Every structure is written in C-alpha cells, then in structure tokens.
Structure 1
C-alpha cells in the first residue's frame, strides 16, 4: 500500500482530518494553548485510528500566526519515520483552495469571525480576519454585537423598537444587568455571535432593525471582497474573477441578497459561484500546490 496524505482542517469548533477514505472529526483547537503540539497529537491519533502509513501531513489552521507557521517544528513534533513532509498554512488559504481551486478570485468565509482572501495572477491579498476586538466586519459576532447595541438603545429610549429586545430578555430578564452577565461569561464571544441567527430570522419576519443590520453586514462583507480584488488585480484587459461566499452567516437570504447586490454593482468583472468543496478539500490540495502559485509564499513546507 502506498503512503498517504493526511489532511487537517483545524478550526475552533472542530478539527477535521482526512486520510485515504477516512474522515475523522476531533475537538477544536484550544486557542489558549500552544498549537503545534495539538496538531501533532491529532496526527498521531488519526494514524493510530486508521492504521494508514502517512508520508505527507498538510494542514490549514484557523488563526495561524507567523510564529506558529513552522512546518519544520511540526515535523519534528510528529517524529514519525514514515512522515517525510509537512505543509502548514492559514485556513484562509485552504478555504480558498477548497472553494475555488486554481482560479483567480476571492473567498469570504464568514462564521463567528470572517476572513477574505483574494488571489490574482501574481498577488494575494488577505482582508480582515482581525478578530472580534479589532475587525471581523459583517461576521456573526459583528451582527450579534450590532443586535445587542440596538436592544440597549431601545431600552434607553435612544433607538427604535425591535423584536430583538424580546430575544435578549429571554436570556437576561433584567436588561440593566445583561452587560455584567455577558462580560463575566467565558463564552461571551459565542454568546454574542449566537444573536446573528435571531437577526436573520427576524429580518425575514419584517423587523426593520434586524433588516438594517443584515443589509449593512452584507455590505461590509462585499466591501472586503472588493478591497481584496482591488489589491490583486493586474493590468490585463478583461480580467475576470470568481467570488465565493461560505460560512453560516450566508444562510441568511437577505444578507446574501445584499452581498450579491453590492458585488454586482462593483467595478470588477466578477461572478458569484458556489464552492467546489470545503476547507478539508483545500487542506488536501496543499500537497499538490505548485511552487510558482501565488499562494505558495503563504505556505510553510518542511521535508526530512
């Protein structure tokens, strides 16, 4: 039996692993702990569970920092004689490869957070993905934060009435104390982001405040795509791009419509397309990425 590629799509909600015909899901990465030991442990567990002889480990990782993007260090931690190559990249890279493959364009991945990656003929541009404190415009967290702001504006008399208030009161009956409960909740990021689903539902039911938040979120996400494409476009006449929107935020029909409307009105020749695959497909594709590909500079590779 020939040696296999073990592909890893590592996110905060779960780590997906693919080797041969096996697809395995492990608990998500723990952001407060060193990353490389976690990836090495997942690699060992997957090899043990499947019995596969793995020669290449390729991983796309959420929130991968420059310091942690060290394929040689991961290869040393794996310490398996059969594994002779490790490929490591940020999950924006593998999301792009999974969704668009070897195509010029942009992929915006919006869940709790959001990151946009564009690839042109020669250049690559990443836009946002700066976390809930500094960025992630249009993300689930951003939408939830806008929802809670609207709730408290109504509570104070500073803003219009909204059905979102009842949703917040279901969680915090005394809204005057809601901020205390939220600030002390270790899961506050996911709690805030959970309000995005209510915004989508209430927007479809006609709540004007929810509709306004939804339309603005779609505009923010489209703005990131347009900005990324502007940074990678060439002087080539008639250059065409594909754009792909993935992640739970885009389950909202009104948000997706607002996003699509902005893209259609942009200065670019761009077509919205459905994703070809998922992040795990992109992680597997890392093993075949050509050295001259524009994304290659964003990938760390180590060999024995």
Structure 2
C-alpha cells in the first residue's frame, strides 16, 4: 500500500442488494466541465464487494442497522485487501452512500450513519445521496446536464450545478411512467383485453403472458399477493419488446412509443435551460435495445432538439465513488440538497463551508 493515499468508499444500495467499492481518490475521474463525454481515463480499477441481500425497509424507512451490518464487514474486507497482510487497515477519508428511497425514506440513515462510520472506519467526510443522484454522477460526473435512470422504475434528474431538478421516480402506483413496471403492466393490460375480447387487446401479448405466468384467468392470484409486484410487472417488459420486434405487433409498438414519450418528457422537465445540454441514459431498461431506443431517439429529437445524447460513463456505484472522491479532494461541485445529496455537517473533517443545515 502506498503511503499518503486518500481512500474513498462508494456504496450502492438498491432492490438487488448492496454493492461497495474502494478506490484511491486520485484514481477516480470527476468528469468536470471540459472533459469529454464518457471520459474513461486509464485509472486503477476499484476493489469491490457485493451482497445480494437488499437492505430492509420498514415503517420507519431504510433500516440503518441492517445497512451497517452488511456494509462494515464488506468495507473492512476491502481495506484489508489494499493494506496487505499484517499491515494496519487505513482510515477512509470519504464515503458516499447512494440508496434507493434515500430522499423520502432515509431519515434513519441521515441520523445514524455519520457517527457510526466515523467511529468504525475513521470516515472524515460523508455524502448520503438518492440513487438518482449517484446515477447522475456515474453517467455525467460533475458536468451540467440531465440523466434518465430507468430499470423497474424511472427517474430523471438534471442540474446546471445550481440546484437539482427531478421528474418522476414516484413508484409504480404514482408514476415511474415509461419504466419497466409501467411497460410490463401496459403489456399485461393488453393481454387481458385480448383474453376478454375488448378493444386494444393483443393476441401476441396474451400468448407471451400465458407462457410466462400461466393461464390468463390466474394472473390476478399470481401477481397481486406478491410483495415484489413492480419487479414482477417489469419482468414482462422484454416480452413487450419481443412482440414489437418479432411479431410486429402494433399494440406492443404503441406501448413502447408511449413509454418513449414519457421518458423524453421527464428528460425535458429536468434539462437545464439553455441552448445545449447533455442527456445520458442509464439503467437496465435501455438494454431492451432498438424497440425502445428507436422511438426514444425520435422523441428526444422532437422534445429536446438542442440536447446531445451521450453515453453514460459509469453506473451508480461509480457515481458514488465520484462523489466520495470529490469530497475527499474538496472538489464537490454537484449541488447539496437536504434530501437528494446530503452532506452531514457534524462528520469530522467536513467540507469547508458546509453547515449542519445542508
């Protein structure tokens, strides 16, 4: 281990589990103004650890104790790797935790993590971020622009480095329009319409739904009791894309066109004002490929004619490292926000000028 290194930890907590990455702050590209879109300099790869157990969420929000039970052993393992056999484990200069639900369900994390991470890992600086913010930092770094993060759900965030603009991300009952659960539900609605003989039905989607879930009449009993309904609905989204592409099904194509319009509307709502802006797309939904991307390109060209769609430089875990490294190097340019990007004021070695009201 080289002496004098400033180690930073990035954490990504979501529905599929917990991911942790450790890197030296100088090895993380911050992607600021003037950097090329998608800049991937030849830097050292971070040490990573993964837990497939999602952090629990209860009536009081995200369970801080459960997150720490998983995070601390993973962090110590990574620190042991870089320290080497018999060497003292180094302190962590900065940590950024990105978590799904942080904005509305993160009160316990905001209350408990600063003291616990300072005591257990020697953390000097801490950022607690919504997963949409770490997705932004992973995709665009610290440049102004807009990012759409879409998987089971869908959220768009944008900034001119003054304040955050957010659109959607309200969950599968109130929004997430155009996301995987939204597409899957629309596809199953069309399947059930075909089963009933109503207008707007799709025989192709009905066949695919029964292939995936069983007889159509049993769909309510197979879906409604599930606690992971958004993921179950989203599992049908690739079938909608398949019907659109392989069966040339007009109903499936219309669903994907509508999803593309919703996604573009969200991007338009958060894009910084001005003549030019970068927009990045990130998340598993876009792996559906051309059935969704072709109509989305058309919608973005119509709704955001002056924007440039750029490749995402990295994922939310990389974004957490970007934020942590920026904190460690006194270079955080992304706007602070009490809910979306919270920098606790009482962490030892806090960022100069940061107050406890941030």
TM-score after normalising by structure 2 = 0.77
1:155-234 to 2 correspondences below 5 Å: 155-159=195-199, 160-205=201-246, 206-229=248-271, 232-233=272-273
Give the Cα separation in 2 of the matches to 1:248 and 1:121: 26
Of 88, 102, 112 in structure 2, the residue corresponding to residue 73 of structure 1 is 112
Equivalent residues in 2 for 1:38-53 (5 A)? 38-50=66-78, 51=80, 52-53=89-90
SS at match of 1:276: coil
CA contact (8 A) 1:12 1:30 kept: no
- Give the distance between the partners of 1:76 and 1:121, measured in 2 at CA: 29
- Stretch deviating more after TM superposition (263-272 or 67-76): 67-76
Deviation at 1:192, TM superposition (A): 1.2
* Root mean square deviation, CA, Å: 2.1
Matched position secondary structure for 1:261: helix
CA distance in 2, matches of 1:119, 1:97: 11
Q: 1:86 to 1:18 in 2, by over 3 A?
A: same
Contact 1:104 1:240 in 2 (8 A): no
Q: Structure 1 residues 259 and 94, CA, compared in 2 at 3 Å: closer, same or farther?
A: same
* Structure 1 residues 150 and 11: CA distance shift in structure 2, 3 A: same
- Give the CA deviation at 1:122: 2.6
Residue 257 of structure 2 aligns to a residue in which SS? helix
Partners in 2 of 1:68 and 1:249 — Cα distance?
25
Moved more, 89-98 or 50-59: 50-59
Is 1:282 matched up with 2:319? yes
1:30 aligns with: 56
Q: Deviation digits for residues 255-282 of structure 1, max 9, x if unmatched?
A: 1111111111125510011011111111
- The 1:292/1:9 distance shift into structure 2, 3 A limit, reads closer
SS of match in other structure, 1:80:
helix
Number of equivalenced pairs: 298
Moved runs in structure 1, 4+ residues, more than 6 A? none
Q: In the alignment, does 2:132 pair up with 1:96? A: no
Structure 2 portions without partners, runs of 5+: 24-45, 81-88, 349-358
- Pick aligned residue for 1:12 from 7, 10, 15: 15
Conserved? CA contact 1:72–1:86, under 8 Å: no
Tell me if structure 2 keeps the 8 A contact 1:93–1:295: no
Work out which of the residue numbers 284, 287, 297 in structure 2 matches 1:251.
Answer: 287
